[in-house]
C-alpha cells in the first residue's frame, strides 16, 4: 500500500541514499528529523546506517517507530502474535462515534454543516470502533508502546486507502469515489531486519536540531505553502487518539501551533538559517524542489554561509493532489553541506 503524502520521497530514496553513501559510509549515524512517511529513514536503515528519525507531527512518528524499530514482529501476547492482532483489528465492531459524526457521509457535524464526505458511513463507523478499541487496549497496559504504534500504523494506512480525497485531507471529493466505497482492510506488515541501531523522536526541527549527535543530518523540509498539519489533520487525529473540535467545512483540527515556517515565503529562508545554525554535525544533506518557497539562488547563498556546498539533481514526476497541475516533471535538488 503506497502513501498518499505531499513530498513523499519513496521514488527518490534510492537516489538520495546513493548520493549520501558517496560521502559517509554505511555504519555511520544519520538523523532524518523531518521524516514524514519515514521512507528515506527506512532506505538509510536498509543501507546499513543507524538512523534517528523524528517529526513535528504525531502520525509520522507512528510510521517511523513501526518502520524502524519493529525489526521483527512483536510478541503481541494479548493476541498470540502479530497476525492474530491483525485478525483482531478486522473483527472489531463498528461504533457510530466521532469519525462517523464528523467525517462520514451520513454524519451530522457538530457545527451544523452538511455531512463531510471523507469516508463512507460504514468505513467511518469501523474507524471509530477500531480507534476506540486500540486506545482502550493501550490504556489498560495490555500492549506495549511499539505494539501500540504498529496498530495505529495499520489503522492510519488503512484509513488513508479508503479516504474520499484527491490527495490530501484538506478537503473531500463531492461524491464518494470507488476506492472510498470499498470496505476498510488491513494488510500484513513487512518487518525490516536492518543492521543499525535506530531511535525515533517527536518534536520540531527547531527544538531537536541542537540535540542531534550524529555523523550527518538529512533534511526534507516542506517546500510548498500547504501546511502538513492542516492537510493531514485526520491522520494526526488518529495518531493523537483525541476528538478535537472539527472546524469549518473541512473539519480541520486546531493546527496553527504546528505550522512550519518553511511553508511561508516570508519566513522560509530564516527557517533554513536557524536550523543550520543549530546543527553541529559535519555533513548536512537537504532535499528541496525547484519550485520551493526559497529560490535556488537564495538558498545557495544561505547554504554557502555554513560550508562547502555540492548540488545534485534528479528529475521526477510531480506529486499530484488534483488535476490542475500542468507540468508533471520537476527537478529534485539534493544539497550537501560540508560544514565549516
pLDDT digit string (tens) for the chain, length 340 residues: 456 666 678 889 999 999 999 999 999 999 999 999 999 999 999 999 999 999 999 999 999 999 999 999 999 999 999 999 999 999 999 999 999 999 999 999 999 999 999 999 999 999 999 999 999 999 999 999 999 999 999 999 999 999 999 989 999 999 999 999 999 999 999 999 999 999 999 999 999 999 999 999 999 999 888 899 999 999 999 999 999 999 999 999 999 889 999 999 999 999 999 999 999 999 999 999 888 899 999 999 999 999 999 999 988 766 555 444 445 677 889 999 999 8
- Left (φ > 0), alpha (ψ -120 to 50) or beta: where does 251 sit? left
Quick: pLDDT tens for 264-295. Answer: 999 999 999 999 999 999 999 999 988 889 99
- Outline where DSSP puts E strands in 142-230: 199-202, 216-219
When the candidates are 3.40.50.150, 3.40.930.10, 3.90.1580.10, 3.40.50.1820, the CATH number that belongs to 1-72+194-222+260-340 is 3.40.50.150
DSSP 313: E
Q: What is the pLDDT of residue 323?
A: 46
Q: Parse the chain into domains and list their residue ranges.
A: 1-72+194-222+260-340, 73-190+229-253
How far from 63 is each of 60, 71, 266, CA to CA, in Å? 5, 13, 31
For residue 340, what pLDDT is reported? 83
CA-to-CA distance for 123 and 156, rounded, in angstroms? Answer: 13
Written as nine digits, the cell of 229 is 498539519
pLDDT at 1: 43
User: From CA 231, how far away is CA 249, in angstroms rounded?
Assistant: 13
Strand 29-32 to 50-55 pairing? parallel
Instruction: Write down the pTM of the prediction.
Output: 0.93
Amino acid at each position: 500500500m503506497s502513501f498518499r503524502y505531499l513530498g513523499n520521497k519513496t521514488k527518490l530514496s534510492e537516489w538520495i541514499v546513493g548520493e549520501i553513501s558517496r560521502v559517509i559510509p554505511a555504519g555511520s549515524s544519520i538523523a532524518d528529523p523531518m521524516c514524514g512517511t519515514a521512507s528515506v529513514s527506512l532506505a538509510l536503515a536498509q543501507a546499513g546506517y543507524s538512523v534517528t528519525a523524528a517529526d513535528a507531527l504525531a502520525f509520522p512518528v507512528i510510521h517511523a517507530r513501526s518502520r524502524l524499530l519493529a525489526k521483527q514482529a512483536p510478541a503481541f501476547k494479548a493476541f498470540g502474535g502479530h497476525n492474530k492482532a491483525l485478525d483482531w483489528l478486522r473483527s472489531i465492531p463498528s461504533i457510530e462515534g466521532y469519525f462517523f459524526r464528523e467525517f462520514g457521509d451520513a454524519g451530522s457535524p457538530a457545527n451544523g454543516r452538511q455531512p463531510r464526505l471523507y469516508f463512507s458511513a460504514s468505513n467511518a463507523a469501523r474507524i471509530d470502533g477500531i480507534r476506540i478499541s486500540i486506545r482502550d487496549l493501550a490504556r489498560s497496559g495490555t500492549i506495549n508502546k511499539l505494539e501500540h504504534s504498529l496498530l495505529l500504523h495499520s489503522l492510519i494506512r488503512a484509513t488513508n486507502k479508503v479516504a474520499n480525497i484527491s490527495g490530501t485531507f484538506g478537503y473531500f471529493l463531492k461524491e464518494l469515489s470507488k476506492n472510498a466505497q470499498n470496505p476498510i482492510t488491513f494488510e500484513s506488515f513487512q518487518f525490516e531486519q536492518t543492521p543499525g541501531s535506530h531511535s525515533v523522536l517527536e518534536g520540531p526541527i527547531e527544538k531537536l536540531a541542537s540535540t542531534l549527535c550524529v555523523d550527518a543530518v538529512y533534511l526534507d523540509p516542506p517546500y510548498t505553502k500547504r501546511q502538513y498539519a492542516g492537510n493531514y489533520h485526520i491522520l494526526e487525529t488518529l495518531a493523537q487518539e483525541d476528538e478535537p473540535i472539527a472546524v469549518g467545512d473541512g473539519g480541520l483540527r486546531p493546527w496553527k501551533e504546528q505550522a512550519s515556517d518553511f511553508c511561508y515565503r516570508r519566513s522560509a529562508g530564516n527557517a533554513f538559517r536557524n536550523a543550520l545554525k543549530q546543527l553541529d554535525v559535519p555533513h548536512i544533506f537537504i532535499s528541496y524542489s525547484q519550485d520551493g518557497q526559497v529560490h535556488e539562488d537564495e538558498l545557495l547563498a544561505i547554504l554557502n554561509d555554513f560550508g562547502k556546498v555540492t548540488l545534485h539533481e534528479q528529475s521526477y514526476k510531480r506529486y499530484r493532489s488534483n488535476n490542475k497541475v500542468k507540468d508533471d516533471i520537476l527537478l529534485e535538488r539534493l544539497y550537501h553541506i560540508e560544514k565549516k
